[in-house]
Amino acid sequence: MADIRLIEIKEDILSDNKNLADEIRDMLRVHNVFMLNLMASPGGGKTSLIVNTIRRMKDTCRIGVIEGDIDSMVDAEKVVQEGIPAVQLKTGGFCHLDATMIKMALDEMDLKNLDLVIIENIGNLVCPAEFDTGAHKNAMILSVPEGDDKPLKYPLIFSVCDILVVNKIDYLGVADFDMSAMKERVITLNPGITIIEASCKTGEGIEKWTHWLADEMNAYQRAVT
C-alpha cells in the first residue's frame, strides 16, 4: 500500500509569512518608521478613521497609507485628497493583506521621509487576523450597527489586536447594542486590549484614538533610537 505524505500548507504559508514580517520590522527599524495594521468589516469605518487621523496628526508626523482592496482605488483617492501619499494594493480576490503584499507596497514608499505608515487591511473579520503584516501594532474597528456579538463569532481578530475602536456610537440610541456585554466578551479574549468608544461622524473619541496612536509611535521611536 502506497504511503500518503501530508503537507501542512497553511502552516508553511504562515511560517514563511512570519519570517518576512520580521524582516519588514527590521527594515522599518532602520528608518525609525512605526506601522499600524487597521482591520474591520466592510463599512466599519476604516477609511473614515484614517482620514480623521490624518487631519489630526499630519502637522506633527509624516504619514503614509497602504490601502488594501479587492478591486478598487476609491479609498486611496480619499487619502491622497488629504495630501498624504498612498499605495493601493488591489488583491484581485484575496481577502487579506500579508507580508509579501506589504513589502511590495513599502518598496514603493519613501520611508526615510515617513514617521507613520497605516495599513488599511481588506474588509474582513477572518483572514486578516491570521497574517502578520509586519506592523508593530494591530488595531480593529467594530461598528455599533454590526452588533455586540462579534467577539463571540470572530474571536481571533479580537485576540490579536492591541486596540479596539468601537465606531459609530452615535447609533447607540437606535441600535440594540450592549456595550457592557461587548466589552466583557472582548476583555475575556484579550485582557490587555485598549477599548475606545468613538464616532468618525461626530468626532467623539477620535482625540483619544490619536493620543493612543501618537503615544505608541513615540514609544517605539524612542526605543529604536
What are the pLDDT digits (tens) for 146-204? 999 999 999 999 999 999 999 999 999 999 999 999 999 999 999 999 999 999 999 99
Residue 172 in any domain: the answer is yes
Does the model's pTM come out above 0.85?
yes
The residues, ordered by sequence, that sit 6+ positions from 11 with a Cβ below 8 Å of its Cβ are none
CATH at 65: 3.40.50.300
Residue 214's contacts (CB-CB under 8 Å, 6 or more residues apart) are 57, 60, 61
Range of the structural domain that residue 28 is part of = 21-218
Whether residue 11 lies inside any domain: the answer is no
202 assigned to some structural domain: yes
User: Do the domain assignments include residue 14?
Assistant: no
Residue 2 lies in a domain: no
Asked if residue 187 is part of any domain, the answer here is yes
Give the pLDDT score at 103: 96
Provide the 3-class DSSP secondary structure of residue 38.
Answer: strand
What pLDDT does 5 receive?
58
pLDDT for 70? 63
Amino acid 47: pLDDT: 95
Is residue 209, in this structure, part of any structural domain at all? yes
For the chain, residues with pLDDT lower than 50 are 9
Q: Is residue 4 part of a domain?
A: no
Domains held by the chain: number: 1
b or e along 110-148 (b: 16 or more beta carbons within 10 Å of the residue's beta carbon)? Answer: ebeebbbbbbbbbbbbebbbebbbbbbbbbbbbbbebeb
